[in-house]
Structure 1
Amino acid sequence: MTYGLPDPQMRADFYDGVTAKRAIAWVIDTALILGTAIVLIPFTAFTALFFFPVFLFVVGFIYRWSTLSGAGATWGMRMMGVELRDRDGHRLDSGTAFWHTVGYTVSIAVFPLQLVSVLMMLLSERNQGLTDHILGTAAINRML
């Protein structure tokens, strides 16, 4: 149940274009994560080069968890005017942000789950991906 989220029938403006904005935000976030990982390589005495995919995964996990906690949006999502809200309509707390990041990470690691998630975003009433459905979260347009 999603008690505090805007009703998509009554307040469609909260959900208009969110899926496309999330896709663009994902590209921005991926570039930021890659750039951050590259900048951090010297601080690992260049050992991160030997396990760069794992290092990239860790940097991405920390980035997503830390930016979703409290603010409810990654920097890419903020640039696109989108934020995640929990089932009560509040910004994500650290625990929910952690589990959302875990769900995202699993869906990225298991490609069929990512396909399911994208299809769910395109077809569901609130544009929710797989992790959003499980946690009761939704991405909405940030209203000023």
Structure 2
Amino acid sequence: MSLYPKITKARRKHLAAHPFDPAKNAIPCYDGAGMPSGFMTMPDMGEMQILAMRLGMEYLAIAHDEDAVEDWIHTTMGLAGSPDLNGIMLVNVLRGIAPIIAARQATDRDTAARALYESLAVEAWEKDFTDLPDAA
């Protein structure tokens, strides 16, 4: 059972409607002699950045809870599909939440602030970011 059922429900609902494919794009690879040697797969990087921002909002809501953070790490690893891609995704998570981390640290023991971060995390999973003017 999830420690944060509202967030988990919002994440699962979003991912059911918009599955993340870490191997969406296949890029041809070549060996040292210039001969084709297979493919390297990569996700749509813009899609992954938006996913990372959603995960970042989720992290802010649960950062005070060690068990929830451990579950969150397993969630990111499952979505990424590989340790390398998970590292790239986590860098994007940190890039997205860095501006708010310092302000958030004072709220760890404030239940109203926790509720606010939980609602923001749910909203992040429910919002359609593709309708923004700069979205690709």
Is the pair's TM-score, using the shorter chain for normalization, greater than 0.5? no
TM-score w.r.t. length of structure 2:
0.29
- The structure where strand makes up a greater share of residues is 2
User: What TM-score, normalized by structure 1, do the two folds share?
Assistant: 0.28
Structure whose CA Rg is larger: 2
